Copies of this chain bind each other. A is one copy, B any other.
Amino acid sequence: EGAMWTAGARQPGLVLAALAALGLALEVLVARRRRPVREVLFFPSKPSCTEALLAEAASPDDAPVPCPCPLPRGDCAFSRLLRHLLSARRSLELCLFAFSSPQLGRAVRLLHRRGVRVRVVTDAQYMALKGSQIGLLRHAGIQVRHDQESGYMHHKFAIVDRKMLITGSLNWTTEAIQNNRENILIMEDAEYVQPFLEEFERIWEFYDPLKYMFF
């Protein structure tokens, strides 16, 4: 029997305290490492200049060129959304009822050029509307699929690198971003992300153009 356990026998409180401290330290370490993104954003978001964000994402090594536009810079709901989106390194799934924001369109094309695997599901009735970004995405070579049902494909979610979910009431239109009362959640809790990933794959397969029936 070691000295420690003999000491423990004499002072059981010490052993308990040491064990508790060890447990706490481990818990703090694990919590710090795994702390998921958990953010709630509300809109409308004031018009703001996002050139710096987009330019930095496009060529991180270049010196920033200041944008001459008069819009305010700085943090706002929209810039935070854009920043999270631009953090994608491997994959991006988009499931969007309406997508006409030119800034978000640029961001998605930029990610595609950077080698991120982008897949888009959208609503057939809305994708042909004026200002839709869907045509530009397809021109850029991004895969897009759409519903062929009578109901709307009304989701508004994105999944970044299969681990961050962006979802809420916000359609990706400038109108909604700047004028509507909207919310989005940005979350990395697997319990929420996983079902959305599975739903995306289901919808993606269901909308495979080879299966379109043109009824």
Q: Among residues 1 to 44 in chain A, which have CB atoms less than 8 Å away from a CB atom of chain B?
A: 1, 5-6, 8-10, 12, 15-16, 19, 23, 38, 40, 42, 44
**Neighbour of A183 across the interface among B1, B155, B181, B187, CB < 8 A:** B155
The minimal Cβ–Cβ distance linking A29 to chain B, given in whole angstroms, is: 16
Q: Which residues of the partner chain B approach A169 to less than 8 Å between Cβ atoms?
A: 97, 154-157, 167-169
Query: Given that A8-B9, A9-B6, A12-B5 are contacting pairs, would A181 and B40 also be in contact in the complex, using a CB cutoff of 8 Å?
Result: no
- 9 extra A-B contacts, CB within 8 A, seeds A1-B9, A157-B183: A5-B12, A19-B19, A38-B191, A97-B169, A151-B178, A152-B176, A153-B181, A167-B183, A187-B192
Q: Are A151 and B181 in contact (CB under 8 A)?
A: yes
A179 at the interface (CB under 8 A from B): yes
Are B40 and A196 neighbours in the complex by a CB distance under 8 Å? yes
Residues of B within 8 A of A154 (CB): 169-170, 176, 180-182
Number of copies: 2
Residues of B within 8 A of A150 (CB): 179
Q: A201 on the interface (CB 8 Å rule)? A: no
Contact of A151 (CB < 8 Å), options: B38, B147, B155, B180? B180
Measured between beta carbons, the chain B residues less than 8 angstroms from A6 are 9
Q: How long is the Cα–Cα vector from A12 to B185 in the complex, in angstroms?
A: 48
Q: Which residues of B contact A147 (CB under 8 A)?
A: 181
Contact B181 A152 (CB under 8 A): yes
Question: A15–B10 Cα gap in the complex (Å)?
Answer: 14
C-alpha spacing A15/B187, complex, angstroms: 40
Chain A to chain B contacts (Cβ below 8 Å), 25 pairs: A1-B12, A8-B8, A19-B19, A38-B191, A40-B191, A40-B192, A42-B195, A149-B181, A150-B179, A151-B175, A152-B179, A152-B181, A154-B169, A154-B170, A154-B180, A154-B182, A155-B169, A155-B181, A155-B182, A155-B183, A157-B169, A167-B169, A167-B185, A183-B196, A187-B192
